[in-house]
C-alpha cells in the first residue's frame, strides 16, 4: 500500500503542468527531460501558454539551450516577441555553434525591427555554413525589404545555385534584378521569373510580375496569356482584368478589351482609369455614346484633365462644337502649364475644321504663348492668315515656320510648303 501511494505521487509529479521549475531543477536530469518533453508536447499542440507556464519560475541561466529555445518559441507564438528575444539570445549564448538557434534569433531580431542585428546573425550562419539555404533566403528577404537589391541578388543567386527547384528564390531573384539599378540584369531577371512560373504556375506574384515584364517589352500576347492565368487564380482581382484589357487594347482587340474593362469595373467601380480606358476602346469602336458615358464616369471620380481632353475628342467626333470646346477648356483649367500648348492646338483644330478661323487663330496664338516652339501652332496661324487674305502676316508667319523647323528632319514637307507659299505671297 505504501509503495502504491509513492508511485501515485510520482505520477502527479511528472505530469502536472503547474509543477515549479525550481523543484525540477533540484531533482534528477531525467525529470528535467520529462518536463522538456511536456513543454514540446504543449508547443506542438499549440498550447503555448501552458508551455511557458511550465517554466514560469525558472532562472534563465539554469535552463538548457533546448529549453531556452522552446521557451522562446512559445513566447514568440504568443506574440510576446520582446520576451522571446531574451531566451533566444541566451540559447545562442549557451550554444553558439547551433545554427537553428541563431537563425531563430535572427528572425526574432527582424520581427523586432533590429535589422542590422538580424543581418549579422544570418551572416554568422552563412560564414560557418556556405550551403545554408535558409539563411541565404531569409537574409535575401531582409535586403529586398530594405531595397538593397544588389545584396538581395547575391543572396537569392546563391540559393538558386544550391537548389534550382526553389521557385521562391527564383521569384525574388528575378524581382530583385528588375528593381536593381543595373540595366544588364533585366534579361536574366526575365529568365528567373519564367523559371519560377514553370516550377509553380500557381504562385500569383511570379505570374503577375512576369506578365508585367512581358507587357513592358511589348510582348502583349505573352503578357495577356499570363494575366489569363492570374485571373484564373484570383478571379476577383480587378487589376488583373484591367491589365488583360490593356493587352487587348494594345493588340487592337477592342471587343475583348471592353469585356475585360467591364469586368474590372464590376469588381472595382471606383478606379477612374478603368473607365478612361473603357472609353478609349469604345471610341475606337466608333461607339461614341458609350465612350462619352465611360469618360463621364471617370470624371465623376477624378477631375483629371486627360479625361476632359478625351471627352472633348469624343464630342468632336459627334460634331458637338460647344461641348467639345467646353471639355477642352475644362482640361486647360486643370492642366499644368507645360501641357497647355497641346490642348490649345486641339481647340484650334476644332475651330479650324468648323472654318471659324478667328477663334482658331486665337487658340493657336495662345498655344504659342505657352510653348513658343510649337511648330504646329505657327504653321496653322500662317494658313489661317492666308485664308483671311492677310497676305503680309501670312508671309511673315510662314517665314517663322521655316525658322522654327529648319533643323527638324520631320518637318521637310512643311518647310517645302512654306517656302512655296512665301514666293506666292510676295506677288500679292
- ∠199-200-203 over CA atoms, to 5°? 145
Task: Tell me whether residue 5 is exposed, middle or buried, using C-beta atoms within 10 angstroms of its C-beta: 0 to 12, 13 to 18, 19 or more.
Answer: exposed
Helix or strand or coil: residue 20?
coil
In the chain, which segments carry CATH 1.25.40.10? 270-335, 344-428
H-only helix segments in 335-390: 337-353, 357-370, 375-387
CATH code of 270-335, in short, is: 1.25.40.10
- Quote the pTM value: 0.74
> Which residues, 6+ apart, have CB-to-CB distance to 383 below 8 Å?
394
For the chain, report the end-to-end CA distance as a whole number of angstroms. Answer: 137
pLDDT, tens digit only, all 428 positions of the chain: 444 333 333 333 333 333 333 333 433 333 366 778 888 888 889 998 988 888 776 677 778 899 889 889 999 999 999 999 999 999 999 999 999 999 999 999 999 999 999 999 999 999 999 999 999 999 999 999 999 999 999 999 999 999 999 999 999 999 999 999 888 998 999 999 999 999 999 999 999 999 999 999 999 999 999 999 999 999 999 999 999 999 999 999 999 999 999 999 999 999 999 999 999 999 999 999 999 999 999 999 999 998 998 999 999 999 898 999 999 889 888 877 667 788 888 888 888 988 999 989 988 988 887 788 889 999 999 999 999 999 999 999 999 999 998 888 888 899 999 999 989 888 87
Torsion sign across C-alpha atoms 394, 396, 399, 401: negative
Q: Answer for the pair 137, 155: CB distance below 8 angstroms, yes or no.
A: yes
- Class of the CATH-defined domain 344-428: mainly alpha
> Which residues, 6+ apart, have CB-to-CB distance to 402 below 8 Å?
415, 418, 419, 422
> Which residues, 6+ apart, have CB-to-CB distance to 233 below 8 Å?
202, 204, 207
Q: Answer for the pair 95, 65: CB distance below 8 angstroms, yes or no.
A: yes
Helix or strand or coil: residue 148?
coil
418 to 89, 227, 354, 369: CA distances (angstroms):
82, 50, 23, 22
Amino acid at each position: 500500500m505504501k509503495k502504491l501511494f509513492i508511485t501515485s505521487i510520482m505520477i502527479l509529479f511528472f505530469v502536472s503542468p503547474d509543477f515549479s521549475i525550481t523543484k525540477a531543477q533540484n531533482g534528477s536530469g531525467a525529470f528535467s527531460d520529462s518536463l522538456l518533453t511536456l513543454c514540446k508536447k504543449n508547443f506542438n499542440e499549440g498550447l503555448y501558454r501552458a508551455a511557458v507556464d511550465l517554466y514560469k519560475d525558472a532562472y534563465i541561466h539554469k535552463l538548457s539551450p533546448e529549453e531556452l529555445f522552446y521557451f522562446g518559441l512559445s513566447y514568440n507564438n504568443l506574440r510576446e516577441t520582446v520576451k522571446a528575444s531574451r531566451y533566444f539570445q541566451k540559447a545562442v549564448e549557451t550554444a553558439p555553434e547551433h545554427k537553428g538557434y541563431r537563425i531563430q534569433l535572427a528572425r526574432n531580431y527582424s520581427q523586432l525591427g533590429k535589422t542590422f542585428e538580424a543581418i549579422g546573425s544570418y551572416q554568422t550562419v552563412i560564414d560557418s555554413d556556405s550551403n545554408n539555404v535558409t539563411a541565404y533566403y531569409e537574409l535575401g528577404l531582409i535586403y529586398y525589404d530594405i531595397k538593397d537589391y544588389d545584396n538581395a541578388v547575391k543572396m537569392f543567386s546563391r540559393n538558386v545555385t544550391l537548389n534550382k527547384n526553389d521557385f521562391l528564390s527564383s521569384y525574388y531573384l528575378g524581382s530583385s534584378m528588375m528593381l536593381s539599378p543595373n540595366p544588364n540584369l533585366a534579361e536574366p531577371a526575365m529568365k528567373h521569373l519564367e523559371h519560377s512560373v514553370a516550377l509553380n504556375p500557381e504562385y500569383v506574384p511570379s505570374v503577375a510580375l512576369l506578365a508585367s515584364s512581358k507587357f513592358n517589352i511589348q510582348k502583349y500576347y505573352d503578357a495577356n496569356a499570363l494575366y489569363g492565368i492570374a485571373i484564373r487564380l484570383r478571379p476577383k482581382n480587378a487589376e488583373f482584368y484591367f491589365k488583360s484589357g490593356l493587352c487587348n487594347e494594345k493588340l487592337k482587340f477592342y471587343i475583348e478589351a471592353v469585356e475585360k474593362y467591364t469586368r474590372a469595373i464590376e469588381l472595382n467601380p471606383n478606379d477612374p482609369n478603368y473607365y478612361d480606358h473603357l472609353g478609349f476602346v469604345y471610341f475606337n469602336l466608333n461607339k461614341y455614346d458609350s465612350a462619352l458615358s465611360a469618360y463621364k464616369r471617370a470624371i465623376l471620380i477624378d477631375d483629371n484633365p486627360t479625361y476632359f481632353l478625351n471627352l472633348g475628342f469624343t464630342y468632336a467626333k459627334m460634331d458637338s462644337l460647344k461641348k467639345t470646346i467646353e471639355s477642352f477648356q475644362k482640361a486647360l483649367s486643370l492642366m499644368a502649364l507645360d501641357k497647355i500648348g497641346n490642348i490649345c492646338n486641339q481647340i484650334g483644330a476644332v475651330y479650324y475644321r468648323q472654318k471659324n478661323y478667328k477663334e482658331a487663330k486665337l487658340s493657336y496664338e495662345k498655344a504659342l504663348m505657352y510653348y513658343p516652339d510649337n511648330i504646329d501652332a505657327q504653321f496653322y496661324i500662317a494658313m489661317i492668315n492666308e485664308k483671311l487674305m492677310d497676305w503680309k502676316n501670312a508671309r511673315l508667319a510662314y517665314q517663322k515656320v521655316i525658322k522654327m523647323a529648319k533643323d527638324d528632319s520631320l518637318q521637310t514637307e512643311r518647310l517645302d510648303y512654306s517656302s512655296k507659299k512665301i514666293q506666292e505671297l510676295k506677288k500679292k
